[in-house]
Amino acid sequence: MRRYLLQIIIMSVIVVCSENLFAAEPLWNGFVQSSWFDEQYQYLKPGPEVRAIIVAPRPERIKPQRINRVVLFTTPNGNTIEQTLGCEQKAGRDWHFDIQHIAAQHRQWQSLNERENLILVCLDAKGLSWPGWRARHPDNPRLIRDVIAAILKQIPLKDPRLTLACHSGGGSFLWGFLNGSDTIPPEVDRFVFLDANYSFSAADGHGKKLSDWLQSDKGRSLIVMAYDDRNVLFRGKKVVSPTGGTFRATQRMRVEFEKTYAFQESGAGDFKIATALKGRIRLLVHQNPQNQILHTQLVGEMNGYLYGVTVNTPEAQDKLPGSPRSYTRWIQPEPFTMPEEKAVP
C-alpha cells in the first residue's frame, strides 16, 4: 500500500512539473529571468545619459485578452532605479532601497488587476538628477520622446496605454515631455505626480495641454499628490523657497484649471482633496500639521504610488493614501542587478 501511494505521489509530481514546463514560454528578446515573482526584466540605455529597466510578467502570465499598459516611472533626485524599485532592508544596505518600493506597489496592483497586463519601466539619469540632465541637453523635449519610443520598441505588446508617473525631481522628465509638442499623444491616459509638480508652468502651456488632453477622452486622469512644505525646516532652514515647493505648485495648477473647470473640495484625515471633471483631475494635499518632511513618506509609507495608479479604476481601494504599507508581501529580498551582458543600447 505504501509503495502504491509513493508511486501516485511521484507521478503527481511528474505531471505537475511537466505542466509547468509545458506552460513556460520563451522570455522576451533581451530579457532575463528574475529570481522573484515570475518576472522578466531588461536593462537598456534608451538615450544619452539615461538608464532604464523594464520589469514585466513572464510571457505565460501575459493574457492576450487584456489591455496592455506600460508605466514609465522617473526616479527622484539622488536615487537610482534599483533603489526606487526597492528591496528588503538589512544591515549595511543603503536606506534608499527601503523608502519607495515602486516595484512592490506595482506588483500589488497587478495582483488586483485582472483587466490589464502591466509593465513597469523605471528610468534614471546620469548624476541622478533629471533637472540636471535636462540642463545638459537643451533638446531634451525631443530626446524624451525618443527615449520613450526606444523603450516601447523593446516591449512586444500591441498598442499599450501609457501611464507617466514620477516622484520629486522625476517630475522634470514629465514637464520636458509636455514641452515636446503642443499635444499629448493619445496613448497616454494618466499622469501621476507624487510630490513632483514643482515646475508646473502656465506660461509654458502646461495647463492648456493637460486641459485639452483631458477633454479629449473621459478615460484620462491627472493625479497630483503634495504636502504643505511651506514651513518645513531641515537643520533650522526652510526646505523650500518663498515661491517654491509642491504646495504652491499645486495651488498654481488649481488656479490655472479653475479658468475652465469647477472644483469640488473635500477632506479626510490630514488630506484636503480638490477634484474636477468627476474626479479625473485630483489634487491631494496633505496638510502636514506637524511640519514634517513627508516628501518620500507620501510615496512609500503611505502607498502613494498604488493610490496614484488605481484611483478612478475598478482596483481603487476606496481610501486615501496612508500607513501602514500594504505591499510588504511583494517586496523582493535583493535589489535588481544588471546581468553580465551590457544594457541594450
Q: Which CATH class is domain 33-222+312-330?
A: alpha beta
Residue 189: which of 161, 155, 216 has the closest Cα? Answer: 161
Q: What is the pLDDT of residues 267-310, one digit of tens each?
A: 999 999 999 999 999 999 999 999 999 999 999 999 999 999 99
pLDDT grade for 113, boundaries at 50, 70 and 90: very high
Q: Is the pLDDT of residue 89 over 70?
A: yes
Mean per-residue pLDDT of the chain: 93
- 276: CB partners within 8 A, 6+ apart: 257, 261, 262, 263, 264
Q: What is the pLDDT of residues 28-45, one digit of tens each?
A: 999 999 999 999 999 999
Residue 197: which of 133, 124, 250 has the closest Cα? Answer: 250
